[in-house]
Amino acid sequence: MPRLPSIAVLLGGLLLCSRLPAADIDPASYGFPLHNPFEATIVTTPPELRPDLPPDSEIDQRDYSLSLHPARPFALPGSLRQVRDLRYRLARQAHAAPLIFIISGTGAHYASSHTEYLKRLFYGAGFHVVQLSSPTSYDFMAAASRTATPGLSREDADDLYRVMEAVQAQQADLPVTAYHLIGYSLGALHAAFVSQLDETRRRFAFKRVLLLNPPVNPYDSIRNLDRLVQTDVPGITGNLTFYELILGKLTRYFQQRGHIDLNEALLYDLQQSKERLTDEEMAMLIGSVFRFAAADIAYTSDLINRRGLITPPDYPVEEDTPLAPFFIRALQCNFGCYLNEQLIPQWRRGHNGSSLSQLVGQIGLQALREYLAGSRKIAAMHNADDLILGPGDLAFLRRTLGERLTLYPFGGHCGNFNYRVNSQAILEFFRD
């Protein structure tokens, strides 16, 4: 980050010294019913406590494709040629309106459930909405990333910014009154870096930027999630795997109900039954979801770059090639494995980097401390019991954002932003 003139540094220091405290939501008055962070992360908000939002049938929306053809030293293998163009979703108002970009979380597609919820929330409030995949999703890695090695936050933000510029150009007839930006989970970290990039490029001049449950130090968050997979789950023996245990509970639950109903309220209903998952089982389930995301990132990055760590570099991978053996191998690689085997070598080649601590210092919110402290348009909403937070993360957010940090006592990781109280607070932040 360019060094600021001395007077600006002085003013920034005074601002930090006089910062108002974060808005801590009182646990006694906060009505979110799930106080277990594992349960909140998996179940999210019970349906009756969510706001009334427009259904898809009432939303003027369409998916579009971008042919970005980034300059990169690889050609897509056959199995990924179907995503050589990047797709995104636009929900369009019938009149001039502000536009908000939504950046999805780790490994998430532009049409993932959290992103879709935010689309409905903002569309109902009168916004044009653009939904973007995460730079860690296979489609973004194949169609938009210049290195197909996500994890370097500034490079990921630059890739995202190019996508946003391409969207703006493709939708030149869309009457936009102002631009806004929001991201959740890893997408919130990306939103912060994109916002800083826009300060110099000024293509959007974002009016408001909101970070929902951002990782402060991604390396600590990765280690937290990797540890969940190592949870000791009672009842698992050499003859019964974790997945068989969960499947057995779901089977018995459906037998008791008399039918299979795979709707979004499934896990909430399950947790009210005698087949409810224990804390250990929920921790393992959350960790497994992120392990699959890590495997997908590691496999896709290795395949596109032909590194030979998972798929032999000369192995012909076409649309009909069986990929299961390679994905099983990828499942043995957690986020830490991807970082050590692919991300750090890529960083060292392109940035003359050396130590892990040097990399960690460049990819988290700490690298943006001065910018976040001085930019009044940026705010964050987080949960005190979020599983991805590491030691000192909340203290950093309090010192840096002050009253622009809203801290909820419960909600786990992204489990409560579809709660009607949180949703109302999100919309209030973006209102003039």
The predicted pLDDT at position 70 comes to 61
Q: Are 273 and 279 in contact (CB under 8 A)?
A: no
> Strands across the sheet with 208-212, in order?
23-24, 405-408, 378-383, 208-212, 176-184, 97-103, 128-132, 86-91, 61-66
CA distance 201 to 248: 54
Residue numbers in the chain where pLDDT is lower than 50: 1-18, 240, 242, 253-254, 257-265
The predicted pLDDT at position 237 comes to 54
The answer for residues whose C-beta is within 8 angstroms of residue 393's C-beta and 6 or more apart is 216, 217, 220
Tokens of 113: 């459930």
The answer for residues whose C-beta is within 8 angstroms of residue 44's C-beta and 6 or more apart is 414, 415, 416, 418
The predicted pLDDT at position 285 comes to 73
CA distance 413 to 385: 8
Report angle CA 294, 159, 129 to the nearest 5 degrees. 90
The predicted pLDDT at position 330 comes to 81
In the DSSP assignment, the letter for residue 85 is S
Indicate the pTM of the whole model: 0.86
The closest alpha carbon to 368, from 382, 380, 354, belongs to 380
The closest alpha carbon to 365, from 244, 213, 148, 208, belongs to 213
- The count of residues in the chain is 432
Q: Are 397 and 22 in contact (CB under 8 A)?
A: yes
CA distance 384 to 389: 8
The closest alpha carbon to 377, from 216, 159, 149, 179, belongs to 179
The predicted pLDDT at position 386 comes to 96
